Chains A and B, each alone.
Chain A
Amino acid sequence: MREKMERKKILKIVLMLLILTLLGLLPFHLSGYWVRLFIHIFMYAILAESTNMLMGFAGYVPFGNVVFFGMGAYITAILMGKGIPFFAGILIGAAICFLFTLAIGHPILKMKGHYFAIATMGVSEAMKQIVTNLDITGGGSGLSLVPLSLPSVRDVYLFFYFLMFLILAITVLVTYFISKGRLGYALRAIKANEEGAKSIGINTPFFKMIAWALSAFFTGLTGGVFAYWMTYIDSPGVFDIVIAVKFIIMILVGGAGTVFGPLLGAFFIEFISELVWSKFLIFHLTILGSIIVLVIIFMPKGFIWFYQKRFTLVALLENVREGKV
């Protein structure tokens, strides 16, 4: 029995290394179109993984988490405009997002369930409007960044591919350590029964805040990279609530609270999303919307759960019965 588990573990590690190598070699053998697609997928994977830190483990759904994406993007753009180098820019942006959560976290995390979700959404929408009206952010004109200049266009792509990949790897690692450590334990306790967790002495406000702050940090970091990659950002583009809903669905589809779930969810949804967008330009929202509706009705607990149930049709119907009024 022990041996079987050991073997399974080794198999898992080998598989992971294989995939990592594959992804590492991929950009050198595929066309620009694919590389761009993967950059997108990695980006959404990071967003899903980071928000999962709060949402998956503690059960608080920060619909407005996209606000950090936008903040990170704008801070990086503004700083780079003043001559601060890229890597410093994104780190400062991420740090500011981290501190921002610590500042507003206290009153907002006090709210439960959809109070919290809507409050975060309110923060995000308010921020979007405020940014559109400030001069330093370029207001309605948006902000342009000086593009990364490398010998060929392909080199620029490789740069962003590996950078996103690196950030993704770090985010997954952090999630792994969270899940195995005290923070994860506390968050899971909060998700299961917050009052109970408090009563046995867990400092719930602190842990919730740290989880949210971490998710803000990585989301902000990604926003900064996005800004440099796009070289032009504007308020509605980076504070877009659709991005937030997208990565929340990715978390749900992949499996909230797991380490790899959001990754799978991101890969699946973004892959399909891009494919559908290319081939069905006119109807892509219909198709995407329908997929979302079907997923919610039949598979709200996600892929990983579905895999655990061995992909049976019965399990799908079970979901429908469970949710039906």
Chain B
Amino acid sequence: MLVMQTIVNGLLIGGVYALVAVGFSLVWGVANIINLTHGVFVLLGAYISFWLFQLYHIDPFLSIPFSMAVLFITGFLIQKYLLNYVVRAGVFMTLILTFGLARVFENQMIVAWTGDWRTVTTSYAGSGFVIGGVSIPYIRVAVFILALIFCICLNIFLNRTKIGMAIRALTFNVEGARIVGIDIGRIYMITFAISAAMAGAAGSLISTIYSFSPFLGTPYLSWSFVIVVLGGLGSIYGAIVGGILLGLIESFSVLTFGPGYQVAIGFVILVIFLVVRPQGLFGKKFLT
């Protein structure tokens, strides 16, 4: 019964992990940008939902479109006016630039909203159903389902729409895409914007189950790194499977080793995978 509860816990949180990581994986796979601001984007999504709930009593699930929209625009602008200028200089430059940007955002959040921990507590928080001794909170299930829906929608978008296919084209062959006439700069902007929007949605969902503060953006980034390596670069399936896998691994590690090593396990897996199977479960090899 404890094992069942552990599985359920890991599964449910894995969905969220997947949604957090999917945008990160997309941007890295398509534009070769390692976006260290990703954690901050998730936080922004969470804050937007929090303030809408606090000030206007808008249910956090309903505020998701709004946070996605705001993050979409933010991501678009960042790519257009900052990242597009360093993309060709190499992936390390993008890494360091986004690192600097993340610090700026973090600081502004602290100044604007203080470092207090926030959480969204709706009236239905804490209630759930119990099956065979395993308790399953309603919110966690809703979050899990929504997270998966978003990932699947993203996949459909990438495979069935013109823009989506242009984005995918860039993953495979940048020069070829250019020759065919695709405006790479614009595609990067859209990709980054989508990635940010996904992060925003994830943030809104997270605000309902966890507390957060401007200082807590880093774990989201860590999960993203581990999941990208586990699941494979640029693959949505990879992000979903990787996310759920990470959730389960963390859950079981608490059972076996105790709560202290929860985070360490993720990184150990990351290193092992990099040594043994760098393309992850479903991904393409990294661009060098």
Q: Which of A's residues lie within 8 Å of B, judged by CB? A: 61, 107-108, 110-115, 117-119, 121-123, 125-126, 129-130, 132-133, 245, 248-249, 252, 282-286, 288-293, 296-297, 300, 319-320, 322-325
Contact = CB atoms under 8 A, between A and B. Distances in A.
Nearest to A284: B107
A112 B92 CA distance: 13
Contacts of A61: 92
Interface in B97-151: 97, 99-108, 111
A132 B108 CA distance: 30
Nearest to A294: B100
Contact of A129 (B105, B108, B188, B261): B261
Contacts of A323: 85-89, 93
Nearest to A323: B89
B84 A324 contact: yes
Given A129-B267, A325-B88, A282 B260 contact: no
Contacts of A121: 225
Contacts of A123: 267, 271
B268 A126 contact: yes
Given A61-B92, A113-B286, A283-B107, A126 B264 contact: yes
A285 to B, nearest CB: 4
Contact of A292 (B91, B99, B222, B260): B99
A115 B104 CA distance: 27
B274 interface: yes
B272 to A, nearest CB: 9
A300 B89 contact: yes
CB-based closest 9 A-B pairs = A292-B100, A129-B264, A289-B103, A323-B89, A289-B104, A285-B107, A126-B267, A133-B260, A122-B270
B275 interface: yes
Contacts of B88: 322-325
B34 interface: yes
B185 interface: yes
A314 B140 CA distance: 55
Contacts of A130: 261, 264
Interface of B: 34, 82, 84-89, 91-93, 95-97, 99-108, 111, 184-185, 188, 222, 225, 229, 260-261, 263-264, 267-268, 270-271, 274-275, 278, 286, 288
A74 to B, nearest CB: 16
Contact of A325 (B108, B185, B271): B185
Given A129-B263, A252-B96, A289-B100, 13 more contacts: A111-B275, A113-B288, A122-B271, A125-B267, A129-B264, A245-B99, A286-B107, A288-B100, A289-B103, A293-B97, A319-B89, A323-B93, A324-B84
A292 B97 contact: yes
- Centre residue among B93, B106, B264 by max chain A CB count within 10 A: B264
B286 A245 contact: no
A115 B286 contact: yes
A111 B273 CA distance: 12
B95 to A, nearest CB: 8
Given A113-B286, A129-B260, A130-B264, A300 B93 contact: yes
A286 B288 CA distance: 31
16 contacts: A108-B275, A110-B275, A115-B274, A118-B274, A122-B270, A125-B267, A126-B264, A129-B267, A130-B261, A245-B99, A285-B104, A289-B101, A291-B100, A293-B100, A320-B85, A322-B88
Contacts of A245: 96, 99
Nearest to B263: A129
Nearest to B104: A289
A119 B268 CA distance: 9
A284 B97 CA distance: 17
Given A119-B274, A286-B108, A324-B85, A114 B103 contact: no
A297 B274 contact: no
B82 A322 contact: no
A184 B86 CA distance: 29
A114 B34 contact: yes
